[in-house]
Structure 1
Amino acid sequence: CDNTAPFSNQSIGVWIRFIGTGGSTLPLSSPGMNLCGSTGTGWYAGSMPSSTGQITNGTACFTWYTSVCRASVSISVANCNSFYIYFLPPAPICMARYCTI
Structure 2
Amino acid sequence: ESTSTVPPTIPVESTTTNEVLPFQCSHHTVIDDPTRHILYNATRTCDDENLGWVRFIDGANNERSMIIPTEQPPYLEHCGAVVPGWLKNFTYPTTIGTTVQASVCFDFVITGSTERLCLYTNDIQITNCGHDFFVFNLPAAPRCNLRYCTI
Regarding TM over 0.5, the answer is yes
Contact 1:47-1:56 within 8 A present in 2 as well: no
Contact 2:105-2:119 within 8 A present in 1 as well: yes
Matches within 5 A, 1:14-93: 14-20=52-58, 21=60, 24-31=66-73, 32-45=75-88, 46-65=90-109, 66-82=115-131, 83-93=133-143
Structure 1 residue 47 displacement after superposition: 2.4
**SS of equivalent to 2:56:** coil
Structure 2 unaligned blocks of 5 or more: 1-45, 110-114
Rounded to whole Å, the distance in 1 between the matches of 2:140 and 2:149 is 13
Q: Which has the higher contact order (CA 8 A, sep 6+)?
A: 1
1:2 to 47, 56, 74: 47
Q: Name the one with the larger helix percent.
A: 2
Rounded to whole Å, the distance in 2 between the matches of 1:62 and 1:77 is 17
With structure 2 as the length reference, what TM-score do the two structures score?
0.57
Q: Which has the larger radius of gyration?
A: 2
Structure 1 residue 48 displacement after superposition: 1.1
Q: Name the one with the larger strand percent.
A: 1
With structure 1 as the length reference, what TM-score do the two structures score?
0.82
Structure 1 residue 68 displacement after superposition: 3.8
Tell me the matched-pair count. Answer: 94
Contact 1:47-1:58 within 8 A present in 2 as well: no
Structure 1 residue 87 displacement after superposition: 0.8
Letter in 1 for 2:67: T
Structure 1 unaligned blocks of 5 or more: none
> Residue deviations 1:1-37, cap 9 Å, x none?
432xxx2xxx4x5011000159600000211311012
